[in-house]
Amino acid sequence: MPIYEYHCDKCNKDFECLMIGSYQAECPECKTTDVKRMMSACGFMSKGSGGETVKAAAGTSSCGGCTAGSCAGCGH
């Protein structure tokens, strides 16, 4: 079950919502369902070449503004 981030234009609140089935996101402040889903920076953990855990987030990588379809396509 994914957790999505939303923005409410009515009260200007950002919030997260666990989406279960066809559930409609509702602003916890003003209770409207007229909300917009935001693009989230995904976080991930992977193992480095030496087996160490490497933590990173898309927004903190050196390619944060890259427009390539994938990291393999940007050449960095």
**Residue 53 pLDDT exceeds 80:** no
Neighbours of 25 (CB within 10 A): 20
Helix or strand or coil: residue 73? helix
Token pair, residue 29, equals 């402040």
DSSP lists the bridge partners of residue 36 as: 7
Amino acid making up residue 58: A
**Residue 60 pLDDT exceeds 50:** no
Distance CA 8, CA 10 (A): 5
Higher pLDDT, residue 1 or 64:
1
**Residue 70 pLDDT exceeds 80:** no
Report the run of H or E that residue 35 belongs to, with start and end: strand 35-37
What pLDDT digit, counting tens, does each position of 5-52 carry?
999 999 999 999 888 888 889 999 999 999 999 987 666 666 666 666
**Residue 59 pLDDT exceeds 50:** no
- Report domain extents, the chain: 1-39
